[in-house]
Amino acid sequence: MKRTLKRSNAPIFWALFGAGGMLSALLGPMLVLITGIAVPLGLLLPADTMSYANMLAFSQNLIGKGFIFAVIALFLWHAAHRIFHSLHDVGIHAGTGAKLICYGGAMLGTLIAAYALLAIGF
């Protein structure tokens, strides 16, 4: 028997999936309502809610930065994991290539978000 069992990387992806699933379940609908419907249509919230000055200040605040990063990165990891595991169900072989595209996409999005948040500064 092999002395050192190879450790699976599945728990990492599953944890990211779970965290993103929980965050999107708790705040997803309200976020979509605010950024995608209320603000563009000028309903419910003050007209300058997502003005440049407001959003810049929010993204320069440490808590705001963390929130933006968590929402974008965890939503992406949640979706990537779920889409990857649904590929087989729609008749697409979920091999290494598919894994690279799904998780690689989430990783790329995470890095771009981190880069943009650092570029915005503190």
Element (H, E) at 54: helix 52-60
Buried (b) or exposed (e) across 80-107, using 16+ Cβ within 10 A? bbebbeebeeeeeeeeeeeeeebbebbe
* Interacting positions 23-52 with other proteins (CB under 8 A): 24-37, 39-41, 45-46, 48-50, 52
Q: How far is the CB of 8 from other proteins (least distance, A)?
A: 18
Is 101 a binding residue for other proteins by CB under 8 A? The answer is no
SS3 63: helix
List Cβ neighbours of 120 (8 Å cut-off, separation of 6 or more): 56, 59, 60, 65
Nearer to other proteins, 13 or 80 (CB): 80
Q: How far is the CB of 37 from other proteins (least distance, A)?
A: 5
∠ CA 40-111-75, nearest 5°, is: 50
Nearer to other proteins, 4 or 65 (CB): 65
Q: How far is the CB of 2 from other proteins (least distance, A)?
A: 30
Q: Which residues bind other proteins (CB under 8 A)?
A: 20-22, 24-37, 39-41, 45-46, 48-50, 52, 54-56, 58-59, 68, 71-72, 75-76, 78-80, 82-83, 85-86, 89, 91, 109, 112-113, 116-117, 119-120
